[in-house]
């Protein structure tokens, strides 16, 4: 079962990476940029019978390792194989 984890800094935590990227984009002429925050995408393929079961396992992974609860929030989304390919095709 393929699942996508999005890890983001919790609201209010300073995003140093986002701030630097934002500054650079403005410098490159993107003056219309209002806000930008950087997170991580982690694609996980887990042996599970159903999406909810996969979710439970991946949630444990997030709590144990993938996210730092002091700084980060995470969301878990199921992904179709085709959409993974579509994302890479955009590059």
Q: By the criterion CB under 8 A, which residues form the site for another protein?
A: 10-14, 16-17, 19-21, 23-24, 27-28, 38, 68, 70-71
**Angle of CA points 65, 66, 70, to nearest 5°:** 80
Q: Residue 50 or residue 68: which is nearer to another protein going by CB?
A: 68
User: Which residues are CB-neighbours of 56 under 8 A, at least 6 positions away?
Assistant: none
* Dihedral of alpha carbons 41, 42, 47, 48, sign: negative
> Least Å distance between CB 1 and another protein?
28
Q: Residue 27 or residue 82: which is nearer to another protein going by CB?
A: 27
> Least Å distance between CB 10 and another protein?
6
Indicate the pairing of strand 2-9 with strand 72-78: antiparallel
Q: Residue 21 or residue 51: which is nearer to another protein going by CB?
A: 21
């Amino acid at each position: 079962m393929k699942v996508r984890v999005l890890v983001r800094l919790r609201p209010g935590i300073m995003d140093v990476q986002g701030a630097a990227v934002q500054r650079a984009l403005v410098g490159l002429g993107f003056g219309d940029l209002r806000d930008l925050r950087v997170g991580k995408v982690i694609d996980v393929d887990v042996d599970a019978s159903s999406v909810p079961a996969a979710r439970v396992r991946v949630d444990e992974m997030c709590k144990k390792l993938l996210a730092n609860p002091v700084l980060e929030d995470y969301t878990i989304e199921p992904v179709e194989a085709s959409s993974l390919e579509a994302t890479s095709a955009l590059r």
